[in-house]
Structure 1
Amino acid sequence: MASVGRASAMLASGTMVSRVLGFVRTWVLLQAIGAIADGANAYSTATQVPNSIYAIIAQGILSAILVPQIVRASVHADGGKAYINKLVTLGILIFFAVATVATLLSPWLAVLFGARGAFAQLVTAFAYWSLPQIFFLGLYTLLGEVLNARKSFGPFTWAPALNNVVSIVMLIVFIVAFGGDPGSHRPIDAWTPGMIAVLGGGATLGIAVQALVLFFFWRRVGLTFRFDFHWRGVDLGSAGKAAGWTFAMLIGTQVAGLIETNVANTVATLNVASVTAMATAWLIFMLPHSIVAVSIVTAYYTRMAEHARAADHASFRSDFSTATRTISLLICFFSVAIIVAAYPISVVFTTASYVQLGNVLIGYAVGLVPFCILFVIQRAFYALGDTRTPFMFTLVQIAIAIAGVLLCLLIVPEYRAMGIALVVSGAGTVQAVVAAFLLRRKLRRLDGRRILGGLWRFLASAVVAGGAGLLVVWLLGGYSDGFAVQGKLTAIVSIAVIGVVMLAVYAGMLRVLRTQEFGAAWAMVQGRIPGRSGRSRGPE
């Protein structure tokens, strides 16, 4: 358990650095092209395809296949090295083919994502530079999951930091060469091929560096990559079967994402929140998920795969329960805190349209808790070698999301993006409930009493803390153009004050409710205080 804790801490620190740099990158990007400008929405639409495919690759197809398969292949005489080279060779070929075809289809993809006229031409120009990212994002995930399966978690977590550094440098070059546009005033016909190349090409360069740097860490885990096209006799059939269901899930999710982008693009040229605002809000939404959920689950995932291989269901359930409760303890607080401080948070990124960005952020944050719990459940199914069931409960989410997003066409333009975000949150919540039910049926028992007992305490404490936070926001003028939203510096100060007050109330409520998980966390903190270590015990 201590090793899992150290791995989670290392992953969290790497994710924190990467995400902080990601926030800096997004801030610089909005200073360069604005949050609601035509050019900004064209750029965001063009990057929608590689980002969407990466999200499914990272959260589904490769994680579902590689980690369990490599763990099983480790019993081979060569420790699974031949299997890894064959699988990576196949993956490289597939991602290269997909990236090439997608890039050639750029004009049609622009139309498919709802772009029309001059807006479509700009989307297409960006897409030619952005779509090659599919190959490098796939390669990054492929190499990183191999390292994770060999219990080398650091490189995969820290590589995005290098990507963000490269991207920030290229954005600064863009601003110096062509000027910034934080107020979203640059007309669509002002974009030149050079501007498009620096902005789109700079982003792709960062992702390429992020992927290729992982090759340098293979030797540390005893691997040397070489292309191996001899795929017979290495039992790739089971991996192919697993890939079939996740590929079907990918197609379904892409259809839902396509419809979301089309509906968002109906207001892309109306100077209201659209694709760029949604992408920025999603980045903020993903920060606690990445730092907390991904870091904890990544460390537990290999363990759960090992327990599944050994048919040790008791240990499997224990790891699942611990991961779920630990994540929920932290995520409940972050979810409510983001909702309460949405406007000051948005001011940090854009002062011109912070209300609209804040509304979209609230829409996403409502679904943060079920989103993170669903992430744990999906990994549990993948560790069990089951990719069919995640496909089934994802179909439920897809159906609800598509129907709800289409209904968002009835919403006035100013609130359409927020409506889409709320639909995504609602569909994800239903998906998480269905997924939990199916996992319980598969394992027969899920430690549900402890999980639900902790969850209601976390949520109740977070709601009380949220009430205190709303009072602070009101006192700071967050709802009346006051101190909290006057500028970036005042917003940062306000966020800090809101966070401290909410955290104090949240911790107090958890203690009042005698929350078991809080007691374990507090004992861990006391154990690190000089002179108190002998009187405190860590979590079991």
Structure 2
Amino acid sequence: MSLIKKFATVASGTLMSRVLGFTREMLMAAALGTGPVADAFYAAFQFPNTFRRLFAEGAFNTAFVPLFAKEIEAGGMDGAKRFSEEVFGVLFSALIVLTIAMELAMPFLVSTIIAPGFTGDPEKYNLTVALATVMFPYLVCMSLASMMAGMLNSLRRYFAAAIAPVFLNVILIGVLYWAWRSGADGLAVGHWMAWGVMAAGVVQLAIVWVAARHAGISIGFRRPRLTPGVKRLLLLALPAAVTGGITQINTLIGTAIASTQASAVSSLALADRVYQLPLGVVGIAVAIVLLPELSRALKSGNEVEAANLQNRSVEFTLFLTLPAAAALLVMAEPIVRVLYERGAFAANNSTPTVAAILAIFGLGLPAFVLIKAFTPGYFAREDTKTPMVFAAVSVAVNVATALALFPSMGAPGIAVASAVAGWLNAGMLLFVLVRRGHWGREAALMKRIPRLVLSAALMGAALWYAQGWLAAELSSSARLVTKAATLALLSGAGAVLYFALAFATGGADIGMIRRNMRRGGKAQVTNPSPDP
């Protein structure tokens, strides 16, 4: 299976999840707007979600995958199964202890870390504590599910792990539909959504658990022991957790700062959902596929293949994310109007704020995706400390910038801080890879990048002027069908223009597409469990 086909396998599941996520957010915006219940729900959900990214996706997709792949090469499936059971025993025990501790400390955590600004509003504060208490056990399910997903990815079975997150949105959409049919008030919707999150965690775990068994790995529970393999994992996992979850750390910090201003938390969350579509479809797909592929190439001593993997990944990410960034920057307001401007959201007049945040997130999008492409170059070499240092620097910059800009800019200032921190992190990662000789730069790639940037900039300029001509069709007073059709027309025309410019300027060529579609045949021969 070629690298692009593997990206597409993961991206298809992620795309489905993100599209359903849009539907969920549209329903939530209509039901709750950016009011106090929405603020409470988003703040409460952000906490277990951040832990999930830190200790599950961050740690296991970066530390566990290379070690699991090494066990497969050294001891076959039996050795990999033994290692997985050792890790499972330690992980499950640690998660139970952590969950109990967090549940007992939830009132303190909300008042100091999650949303300190809510303490001035007892009703919102108590609601946040209640919702976070219900949702935090979601971490147990998703951490174990991420471990199963890491094993499946190492075996090149990508689809089950990619499709599992879809069910979070399916369940929450069902909850919102039921709430609408039953005429529930905002408070009831918030509580039902929290229980829906918990149920989704159980369903997602069940999906990847069954897929792992189908792949030939049936994990039993072993008494938790710090075996050499587990110790090595923990040594790699702590910095990997911080690095892999840097975007979520910055989001959590932004949520805490934003909690001092009414509606700021939910405005950030709604804008975040939109830019997470290209970030998730491209960035997460690249990170999930690239790490095991790069680990295998390096462990076999094939530096040429490793360099080719990295260059193809950057080529792929920039080819798709640069036009997405330009579109978000210039079309943020029409996008927000079409997606969210109805019901309680429209009543709160939240469009200008959410659109401003989304436009700024668009500026940071290429950086956020490049981080996903650069970090496997460290993790595949079992270097998790260097990216952790860079992550810590970017967090410090994010906090300082957010605190400086929030008083004058409000929630958009937090988005600026996130974008600045993202570009700083991506720049540091690339600089050290090049300095160490771990980045095999291609002359052809170096020529394509500025041409792709030019193509995206020209497309953005064209969309900007086209919006002026179609201002009436995109205005708040226009019918939803008219706005949606006009936005779809602009998006389609922009995509056609971008691809035409990219091929005309030499930013992309047919040979590039063919190379990416053909590569990977050799690796498939050694695949112990190919995709069905």
Common fold by TM > 0.5: yes
Q: Deviations for 1:307-327, whole angstroms, at most 9, x for unmatched residues?
A: 121232221111001111111
Structure 2 partner of 1:3: 2
Q: Which residue of 2 aligns with 1:214?
A: 208
Q: Which amino acid aligns with 1:173?
A: W
Mapped to 2, the partners of 1:102 and 1:235 lie a distance apart of 28
Residues 57 and 510 of structure 1: CA distance in aligned 2, closer, same or farther (over 3 Å):
same
Check conservation: 1:476, 1:484, Cα contact below 8 A: no
- 1:349-396 Cα deviation digits (max 9, x unpaired): 322122211111111111001111111111221111110111111122
* 2:283 maps to 1:293: yes
Could you say which residue in structure 2 is the equivalent of 1:26? 25
User: Displacement of 1:516 after TM fit?
Assistant: 4.1
Query: How many residues are treated as equivalent by the alignment?
Result: 503
Residues 25/252 of structure 1: CA separation in 2 closer, same or farther (3 Å cut):
closer
1:35-46 aligned within 5 A: 36-46=34-44
Alpha carbons of structure 1 residues 159 and 99: separation in structure 2 relative to 1, 3 Å: same
Does residue 162 of structure 1 match 2:171?
no
CA contact (8 A) 2:61 2:288 kept: no
**Cα distance in 1, alignment partners of residues 369 and 126 from structure 2:** 37
CA contact (8 A) 2:3 2:516 kept: no
Please point out which of 395, 399, 404 is paired with 1:398. Answer: 395
The verdict on how the C-alpha distance between 1:485 and 1:92 changes in structure 2, with shifts beyond 3 A counting, is farther
Cα 1:248–1:347 shift into 2, 3 Å: closer
CA deviation digits over 1:107-144, x for unaligned, max 9? 11221222213221121121111222221221221211
Q: Provide the C-alpha distance between the structure 1 equivalents of 2:241 and 2:94, rounded to a whole number of angstroms.
A: 12
Structure 1: gaps of 5 or more residues? 181-185, 526-540
Rate the CA distance shift 1:369–1:394 in 2: closer, same or farther, 3 A. same
**C-alpha displacement at 1:254, in angstroms?**
7.3
Mapped to 1, the partners of 2:7 and 2:380 lie a distance apart of 18
Q: In structure 1, which of residues 467, 483, 486 is the aligned counterpart of residue 478 of structure 2? A: 486
Deviation, structure 1 residue 449:
4.0
Instruction: Name the aligned partner's letter for residue 271 of structure 2.
Output: A
Trace 1:6-405 onto structure 2 (pairs within 5 A).
6-34=5-33, 36-57=34-55, 59-74=57-72, 75-77=74-76, 78-112=78-112, 113-114=115-116, 115-116=118-119, 117-118=121-122, 119-179=124-184, 191=187, 195-229=189-223, 231=225, 233=227, 235-247=229-241, 256-268=250-262, 273-351=263-341, 352=346, 353-405=350-402
* Counterpart Cα distance in 1 of 2:202 and 2:311: 37
1:70 aligned partner, one-letter code = F
> Structure 2 CA distance, aligned partners of 1:253 and 1:338?
19
Q: Secondary structure at the match of 2:293?
A: helix
Structure number with the bigger relative contact order (C-alpha 8 A, sep ≥ 6) is 2
In structure 2, the CA distance between the partners of 1:126 and 1:309, relative to structure 1 (3 Å rule), is: same
Deviations 1:405-438 (A, max 9, x none): 1112331xxx411111111001110110111011
Distance (whole Å) between structure 2 residues aligned to residue 337 and residue 519 of structure 1:
27
Aligned positions of 1:512-531 closer than 5 A:
512-517=504-509, 520-521=512-513
For normalisation by structure 2, the TM-score amounts to 0.89
Give me the CA root mean square deviation. 2.4
Confirm or deny: 8 A CA contact 2:55 2:241 kept in the other structure. Answer: no
Q: 1:521 to 1:237 in 2, by over 3 A?
A: same
Paired residues of 1:337 and 1:469 also in contact (CA < 8 A): yes
In the alignment, what sits opposite 2:520?
none
Moved more, 78-87 or 386-395: 78-87
Residues 442 and 59 of structure 1: CA distance in aligned 2, closer, same or farther (over 3 Å): farther
Deviation at 1:251, TM superposition (A): 9.6
Which segment is superposed worse, 153-162 or 55-64? 55-64
Q: Is the 8 A contact 1:98 1:135 kept in 2?
A: no
CA distance in 2 between counterparts of 1:33 and 1:297 reads: 34
Q: How big is each residue's C-alpha offset from its partner over 1:2-29, in whole Å with a ceiling of 9 and x where there is no partner?
A: 4333322222221221111111111122
Q: Does the 8 Å CA contact 1:343/1:358 hold for their aligned counterparts?
A: yes
Q: CA deviation at 1:66?
A: 1.1
- Shift in CA distance, 13/491, structure 1 to aligned 2, threshold 3 Å: same
SS in 1 for 2:229: coil
Q: What percent identity do the matched residue pairs reach? A: 21
The whole-number CA distance in structure 1 between the counterparts of 2:492 and 2:244 is: 40
Contact 2:474 2:483 in 1 (8 A): no
Contact 1:343–1:354 under 8 Å retained in 2: yes
- AA aligned to 1:331 is T
Q: In the TM superposition, what is the alpha-carbon distance from 1:248 to its structure 2 partner?
A: 5.6
For residues 204-231 of structure 1, give each alpha carbon's deviation from its aligned partner in whole angstroms, at most 9, with x where no partner exists. Answer: 2122211222111112211111101264
Cα contact 1:45–1:261 (8 A) shared by 2: yes
Distance change in 2, residues 1:71/1:255 (3 Å):
closer
Consecutive unaligned residues of structure 2, counting only runs of 5 or more, are 518-532
- Amino acid across the alignment from 1:136: C
